[in-house]
Chain A
């Protein structure tokens, strides 16, 4: 089975993010593969290990994104492709999906996996957009994947508010991954060594028939302003014996906070 995985390098959730003058973000140098994308890489490798095939990972980003491609290779992906965004003045989820769809167009695939959402933009749009651009079905928030014996169908579980639902879908399909799908492996030393030596294919958006300047105009949203979410709480310590603490807490929740 040919499996494509779209991944993104994002700041770690512990990284400091500040807004500087002119809406410029200053992000602490702590980056990682996006949490949900890691689940996608792991699932692709597990399916390959079961039924055979090839796993190709993609990212649309800067040269620094090579590190997450190498992570995926070290885990067991077969090929990694960097689509360089250096000349693209501005991108949003629509442009990202468009670029990915162009890159994927001429590659054979049965299954595409994306993370549920990226940590930085927290939108969850690239997967659904990409699926629609390619004209294939999309299932989001997937927590279990089972390949049917003929390898032309999947049975998929996804999270819903009431619990979960079981779906059947013909390939090709695009799935977005939700927590609970798997526990991603930690790359072995052998894997890491292999990944360090692996050739990473680089593609420029021009190679995909896209003019870097005009693709910026295709964005569907612009961000006009960014600001830091200021911490608004000041703690009030409640002391005493357990009985006294409870009495005071209830009193404060009633009279001060007015939530009881």
Chain B
């Protein structure tokens, strides 16, 4: 067994940011270990996605077929199982996304191998790989030693940096798509998309998160405006999601998503521990709250004890001026 296989997850005809992160880091690890790095892409009409990925790797396995247009775990698994058994990679990397967190534990169950979820660091010592992942909602970190190849590692988005696209170009192998439909028991009836365009909060550079201090759902317009000037997205606390002010997909925290943006605004939220678990790996944190004793200030780099309804409009204005 040798080589690294990277799952090139994509959306709307483009590789996801986390795929670029893994292609960048996977390439480095392959160079260090003197092994080959490959990517696998599943979907329909993905020539450009495959081209893009091929710059980072030696080979791209491209599975294109209308049946792969929408994700179906059983159909995707049939392809991945066959490919992995044929190519025998020692390391398989994917982003810790909703899709991969279903697909790859299932693949690991079939292969009975080591699966590490929410990996935040990959260590190479003596040519051996180990993986760091959080436990207890991130209070504890642990180094995990895999015992059985292939290692399936689901890496948290924004842990690794996207490196500049290398000059070369790997081979694109168009693979035959063969599915045994008699073994597919899960049928997709419908897909409900929330909006035309939706940004995954785990991939955003800037997250502007609001809590109950916003007082009413319509006041989130203010945060949306701030997010827009900053080129970011809006996040929400459990309280406001439970109240139905914001969709579940925006929830930051233990029962929502973990985000690690460059810049995190915590606005009108107290900073309950289950919330902090979802944002503490952000690079820079700004907290705005009227209550100086709010726990969120313990997890912030910059603290403003102030009324958000006074601060945020001025902040939007000033940033707009800055950006011309």
Using CB atoms and an 8 Å cutoff, list the residues of chain A in contact with chain B: 11, 13-14, 17, 19, 25, 35-36, 93-94, 97, 117, 119-125, 127-133, 137-141, 143, 155, 159-170, 173, 179-180, 219-229, 231, 233-239, 242-243, 245-247, 249-250, 252-253, 257, 259-260
Interchain CA distance A122-B142 in the complex, whole Å: 12
Q: How far is the CB of A10 from chain B (nearest CB, A)?
A: 9
Chain B residue nearest to A127 (CB atoms) is B105
Do B105 and A124 have beta carbons less than 8 Å apart? yes
Interchain CA distance A131-B110 in the complex, whole Å: 10
Do B140 and A137 have beta carbons less than 8 Å apart? no
Cβ contacts under 8 Å, B134 to chain A:
122, 229
Q: How far is the CB of A142 from chain B (nearest CB, A)?
A: 11
Cβ contacts under 8 Å, B251 to chain A:
179
Contact of B285 with A by CB under 8 A: yes
Do B297 and A235 have beta carbons less than 8 Å apart? yes
Do A128 and B109 have beta carbons less than 8 Å apart? yes
Do B283 and A259 have beta carbons less than 8 Å apart? yes
Interchain CA distance A236-B284 in the complex, whole Å: 12
**A19: contacting residue among B110, B137, B140, B307, CB under 8 A:** B140
Do B102 and A140 have beta carbons less than 8 Å apart? yes
Q: Which of B114-157 contact A (CB under 8 A)?
A: 114-118, 130, 133-148
Contact of B310 with A by CB under 8 A: yes
Using CB atoms and an 8 Å cutoff, list the residues of chain B in contact with chain A: 11, 70-71, 73-74, 97-99, 101-102, 105-106, 108-110, 112-118, 130, 133-148, 185-194, 198, 200, 248-249, 251, 254-256, 262-263, 273-274, 277, 280, 283-287, 297-307, 310-311, 314-315, 318-319, 322
Interchain CA distance A94-B114 in the complex, whole Å: 9
Interchain CA distance A179-B241 in the complex, whole Å: 11
Cβ contacts under 8 Å, A253 to chain B:
263, 284, 286, 302
Given contacts A221-B144, A225-B143, A257-B301, whether A122 and B191 have CB atoms under 8 Å apart is no
Do B109 and A123 have beta carbons less than 8 Å apart? no
Given contacts A123-B117, A249-B315, whether A165 and B188 have CB atoms under 8 Å apart is yes
Cβ contacts under 8 Å, B189 to chain A:
155, 166-168
Cβ contacts under 8 Å, A19 to chain B:
140
Q: How far is the CB of B270 from chain A (nearest CB, A)?
A: 14
Do A163 and B191 have beta carbons less than 8 Å apart? yes
Interchain CA distance A138-B297 in the complex, whole Å: 41
Chain B residue nearest to A162 (CB atoms) is B193
Do B322 and A250 have beta carbons less than 8 Å apart? yes
Do A140 and B194 have beta carbons less than 8 Å apart? no
Interchain CA distance A139-B187 in the complex, whole Å: 11
Do B191 and A160 have beta carbons less than 8 Å apart? yes
Give 10 CB contacts A-B under 8 Å.
A13-B137, A97-B109, A123-B105, A125-B105, A128-B105, A141-B98, A166-B188, A168-B187, A221-B115, A229-B280
User: DSSP majority for the B interface?
Assistant: mixed
Do A122 and B137 have beta carbons less than 8 Å apart? yes
Cβ contacts under 8 Å, B193 to chain A:
162-163
Given contacts A162-B193, A226-B142, whether A233 and B285 have CB atoms under 8 Å apart is yes
Given contacts A14-B273, A227-B140, A259-B263, whether A221 and B145 have CB atoms under 8 Å apart is yes
Do A169 and B249 have beta carbons less than 8 Å apart? no
Given contacts A35-B255, A159-B98, whether A224 and B144 have CB atoms under 8 Å apart is yes
**Which are the 6 A-B pairs with shortest beta-carbon distances?**
A132-B109, A128-B105, A163-B194, A166-B190, A129-B109, A123-B117
Interchain CA distance A238-B292 in the complex, whole Å: 12
Interchain CA distance A80-B12 in the complex, whole Å: 46
Chain A residue nearest to B206 (CB atoms) is A259
Do A161 and B97 have beta carbons less than 8 Å apart? yes
**A249: contacting residue among B109, B118, B139, B302, CB under 8 A:** B302
**B248: contacting residue among A14, A179, A229, A238, CB under 8 A:** A179
Do A133 and B118 have beta carbons less than 8 Å apart? no
Q: How far is the CB of A83 from chain B (nearest CB, A)?
A: 19
**A231: contacting residue among B137, B140, B145, B298, CB under 8 A:** B298
Do A229 and B113 have beta carbons less than 8 Å apart? no
Chain B residue nearest to A23 (CB atoms) is B142
Do A242 and B198 have beta carbons less than 8 Å apart? no
Cβ contacts under 8 Å, B146 to chain A:
220-221
Given contacts A13-B254, A259-B284, whether A220 and B114 have CB atoms under 8 Å apart is yes
For the complex with contacts A137-B186, A235-B300, A242-B311, 6 further pairs of A-B residues with Cβ separation under 8 Å are A122-B135, A140-B105, A161-B11, A163-B198, A246-B311, A246-B315
Do A137 and B74 have beta carbons less than 8 Å apart? yes
Q: How far is the CB of B203 from chain A (nearest CB, A)?
A: 10
Interchain CA distance A170-B187 in the complex, whole Å: 9
Cβ contacts under 8 Å, A167 to chain B:
186-189
Do A125 and B115 have beta carbons less than 8 Å apart? yes
Interchain CA distance A161-B18 in the complex, whole Å: 14
